[in-house]
Structure 1
């Protein structure tokens, strides 16, 4: 969390970003206000106060659009609905498109938008009922809402999801780069640990042999007190060096240095010979066919013998050590047994307690088994059985698979594909549903727009609208049918009613002026039949 002043560069970036946003919002407000002014003047049907109110509310919607885009969309819908119950207007349709797109682009979740669309749909139904425009007006309202609001919202949401996909791709790429660096660091540390282990085994073995030689000189009666004291100091120095080696085992080699290794190609026989030259009472017994061993097996056999001899020299100085190497057709067994330490032997060297643990892991990786423990005569035995051909140990069952960068990127791609499908399928499905509703309502309206001949005959010229309404069906034909004769001059409005449920003509025509019936007639399509209206006045 920042507690001090922000850097100057960051403040300048914030100011530039804020200025850019204000300029974009001002340009958007000017564009949308232009449609309102275009319809308002000259004589566009809007009063000056309604134009001023519309321009002001459009400005408020632009100001709120970054924080609350759905509120801005609601303002645009309300302005358009006050002009026309069908929602489609020259002044505010562009505002519907723009704020619909920005709602999908800026809103993080889809559910509030769906609730808003449902509320607008319900409000449109109420508005159509109050305005007495019927369901056809509401169908037009839904069509405008679909193509001017919902489709732009889907496009904006797709653009948002695509931008999130791009951002997620860059984030995942950065994460993968960091993970690769971490893997490289782990590999370097693992290599250092392996080299450190080899160094510990090799140098620890040599230091133990030095201590054994110094201990032999320390008790040699042929030497004087001064020489024996010096030998004891050498032995103690070897012990201290072993302890320091264990303490700094993790930082043996810095970056760029050559890796130290133990004697290359040293056999078990050479190892035993070196130990004997150092003063250890050791014997080697070999049996079985001398077939060449796999490199990993040969290295493991050498390590078992080396670690066991080192432990014998450290913890049982002066004891006899027997090394057995037994080969058969399938495996090789190496066993190192040391007797009980002699009485009066010098004190043992310190132990880190991890040599046998590391040895067990090396033998396991070579496909063998390691056993160690006290012997019957009070000594200690270490033995390992390894196959001639390396058999890798079974890999432990992996735990629950963690989500990877590839899977996260795939999920982001699936979200974008789902958004694209929604942007295509949702409008098509909505149009299909709206078409079915309109077709069903058309059938219903046709069935309710049939005027009975008896009721038609009861109508009298001069009847008021209230009286005629009691004799007429619930619906009339929507507008003057194409092809019928001209309406009587001077009539304010004319309504058409069906004579048969599914027949387009002939029709009953009723015309009104000043709220009274002035003409009634039966009309036909003049393109198909001579127009011979049967009038009754």
Structure 2
């Protein structure tokens, strides 16, 4: 049960100190404050009831019960079943009341059962406890010789007060667990998403290092080759040849170090996924067309600007390749338009695909992406100082990248691990393998929690509802029986002994009182007579006087009043 934003079990785990809820952010009040407030509320109900029943015992029905509640309320955390037993015993005290079996502690019993449902007690422990409480109530009712109303109250009110609040408590506990589990799962998925994005960025940086090796290593190899050629020149002195030899050796050693460093960074999966670094965008588009993809490529400006950095060139290639791959995967059969513009020292790449044909499937034009292509593209474009935007366009999708032709030192700094354009992940990343696995696990956990909450909801509403309908039906029938066997005191006073029954039959009730106790039937009566019993009031829970009319044949022989036995 949530009191001021926390459950009783939550507070026990928090050590009774004020805290903040991890999901709702509500303040959790200490257990002593909550217990005191609960005791005061139940004591107020008991005091109001006691004032309305002056015939009740102060010690037995006020002082002793409040002392028991003062122990049972805080003790429910350690002994929840014993607390329910104690409060049930307070309700059972009402069975000894001379006027009514009901007392104010039925509210405390309902609250105790509810708290039992919100706690850690299992069904196997709770249901036998309820059975023990009901058995105690029935034994006490039999020992005190309760009337029919007392038995009816014991068989209906006590089970309802125990079962219904307990079922509501279990449903509320399942609902809270469902909400808490959803928040925890969402936080876990967010952490996993950040880790996956970071892995994609690191993998892309490794590929950038490989591209740097291929481009820079090629340039260094050319330098070493030219140094070797110059070393053979006949016009050089011995000292010049020695310097060129050292230069060529140093360049060769640098190439070897570069190859070793990139080899450590590169993994097998990245090597297999990488396309040949000497392939151009035009060759990539030709391969896509051979695979059945309709591609329109157009370059504006200088086809190959002299100042275009190899890293920018590879970034352009990666943007086109990833866009074609996503188009073939998510929009098969749709036309793709590729526009590359070199102008003003910047390169713009824009790849737009139309909506695909759902019934058509085409193989991707390049290596299949690992499901995080946009994350890798954003990292690839970002490290060269560019920006990437990917979003739906009309019925299709568009990827647009803008990069400088040269990679300078004035590139914008980006926060590590930050997602610069979160709305771009929604379309092309839906096929992520790891995301699918996380989603499947989320679906399984969500389905289990939802099923548990629904079952407890059904138990909390349907079962008590059916039980309540049966109880209300039987109560209505019993009330009808008691209400139709009432002989008004004024009519009873007008009845005269010796008169024939037909003379006053019009004032007699439609039926006799059906729940006459054996002790009333055993009272002395005139010999040879038959007696009829009627209640003096229509009160259902209070004891009322019973009128006994004894007949000899159809003549009224005697009439008398049996005090306080009209409830059974």
Query: Residue by residue, what CA displacement relative to the aligned partner does 1:64-123 show, whole Å, maximum 9, x if unpaired?
Result: 234444332221101111331799522311111222222223346444323322332333
- Assess if the C-alpha contact under 8 Å between 1:200 and 1:246 holds in 2: yes
Given that residues 35 and 90 in structure 1 are in contact (C-alpha distance below 8 angstroms), is that contact kept between their aligned partners in structure 2?
A: no
Distance 1:36 1:66 in 2: 23
Q: Given the alignment, which residue of 255, 264, 276 partners 1:242? A: 255
| In the alignment, structure 1 residue 142 sits paired with structure 2 residue 151 | no
Which residue is 2:365 aligned to?
A: 390
Distance of 2:515 and 2:169 partners within structure 1:
50
Once the two structures are superposed, residues 205-244 of structure 1 have per-residue CA deviations (whole angstroms, 9 ceiling, x without a partner) of 3333333444455566775443332233223212332243
Cross-structure match for 1:533: 551
Distance 2:149 2:102 in 1: 17
Contact 2:214–2:277 at 8 Å: present in 1 too? Answer: no
Measure the CA separation in 2 of the matches of 1:92 and 1:431: 21
1:167 and 2:219 aligned:
no
Cα distance in 1, alignment partners of residues 204 and 194 from structure 2: 15
Q: 1:48 to 1:532 in 2, by over 3 A?
A: closer
2: CA distance between counterparts of 1:102 and 1:389?
A: 60
Q: What is the CA distance between 1:147 and its match in structure 2?
A: 3.2
Contact (CA 8 Å) 2:148, 2:515: kept in 1 or not?
no
* Offset of residue 425 of structure 1: 0.9
Aligned to 2:284: 294
**Relative contact order: is structure 1 or structure 2 higher (C-alpha 8 Å, sep ≥ 6)?**
2
Mean Cα deviation higher: 214-223 or 10-19: 10-19
Question: Residues of 1 paired with 2:68 and 2:87: CA distance?
Answer: 8
Distance 1:506-1:177 versus aligned 2 partners, 3 A rule = closer
- CA 265–250 in structure 1, closer or farther in 2 if over 3 Å, else same: closer
- State the Cα deviation string for residues 402-456 of structure 1 (Å, max 9, x = none): 54445434443333333222211110233467689999xx9xxxxxxxxxxxxxx
- Could you tell me how far apart the structure 1 residues matched to 2:60 and 2:442 are? 58
Counterparts of 1:212-251 in structure 2, within 5 Å, are 212-217=225-230, 223-246=236-259, 248-249=261-262
- Per-residue CA deviations over 1:309-363 (Å, capped at 9, x if unaligned) read xxxxxxxxxxxxxxxxxxx999xxxxxxxxxxxxxxxxxxxxxxxxxxxxxxx9x
- Alpha carbons 2:68, 2:86 under 8 Å: kept: yes
**Per-residue deviation at 1:141?**
1.9
How far, CA to CA, are the matches of 1:511 and 1:203 in structure 2? Answer: 111
> Which sections of structure 2, spanning at least 5 residues, go unmatched?
1-14, 21-25, 266-274, 293-321, 329-361, 372-431, 496-509, 536-548, 559-568
Based on CA coordinates, which of the two structures has the bigger radius of gyration? 1
Aligned CA-pair RMSD: 5.4
Structure 2 contact 101–150 (Cα < 8 Å) conserved = no
Match of 1:517 among 510, 513, 524: 524
**1:417 and 2:454 are equivalent in the alignment:** yes
TM-aligned CA distance change 1:14 to 1:394, over 3 Å: closer
| Cα shift at 1:250 | 9.3
What's 2:315 paired with? none
* Matches of 1:508 and 1:151, distance apart in 2: 29
Question: Match of 2:104, SS?
Answer: coil
Q: Give the one of 13, 24, 48 matched to 2:34.
A: 24
1:51 aligns with 2:62: yes
- Please state how far the C-alpha of 1:516 moved relative to its aligned partner: 5.1
Call closer, same or farther: CA 1:297–1:73 in 2, change over 3 Å: same
Within-5 A mapping of 1:92-103: 92-103=105-116
Structure 2 Cα separation of the partners of residues 329 and 109 of structure 1: 62
Aligned to 1:198: 211
The separation in 1 between residues aligned to 2:470 and 2:235, in whole angstroms, is 113
Given that residues 79 and 92 in structure 1 are in contact (C-alpha distance below 8 angstroms), is that contact kept between their aligned partners in structure 2? yes
Contact 2:81 2:116 in 1 (8 A): yes
Helix, strand or coil at the partner of 1:43: coil
> Shift in Å at residue 508 of structure 1?
12
Superposition deviation, residue 55 in structure 1: 1.0
Aligned mates of 2:116, 2:444 — CA distance in 1: 29
Question: Which among 106, 116, 126 is matched to residue 119 of structure 2?
Answer: 106
Distance 2:45 2:161 in 1: 15
Contact kept in structure 2, 1:293 and 1:388, CA below 8 Å = no
**Conservation of the 8 A alpha-carbon contact between 1:29 and 1:58:** yes
Question: Number of residue pairs matched?
Answer: 363
CA distance in 2, matches of 1:130, 1:329: 92
Distance 1:126 1:212, change over 3 A: farther
**Alignment partners' CA distance in 2, 1:91 and 1:434:** 21
1-side partners of 2:27 and 2:279: how far apart?
71
- Structure 1: where are the runs of 5+ without partners? 1-9, 253-261, 269-291, 299-327, 331-361, 368-386, 443-476, 490-502
TM-superposed CA distance for 1:29, in Å, is 1.0
Q: Which residue of 2 aligns with 1:357?
A: none
**Offset, 1:478:** 9.0
**Post-superposition shift, 1:192?**
1.1
TM superposition shift of 1:145: 2.5
Structure 2 residue aligned with 1:124: 137
TM-score, with structure 2 as normaliser: 0.50
Could you tell me whether the CA contact under 8 Å between 2:513 and 2:533 is conserved in 1? yes
* 1:5 aligned partner: none
Please give the alpha-carbon distance, in whole angstroms, between the structure 2 residues aligned to 1:11 and 1:102. 17
What is residue 79 of structure 1 aligned with on the other side?
A: 90
Cα distance in 1 for residues equivalent to 2:291 and 2:164: 78
The aligned counterpart of 1:493 is none
Separation in structure 2 between the aligned mates of residue 141 and residue 239 of structure 1, nearest angstrom: 98
Provide TM-score, normalisation by structure 1. Answer: 0.52
- 2:45 maps to which of 29, 35, 42: 35
Equivalent pair of 1:505/1:524 in contact (CA under 8 Å): yes
Q: Secondary structure at the match of 1:517?
A: coil
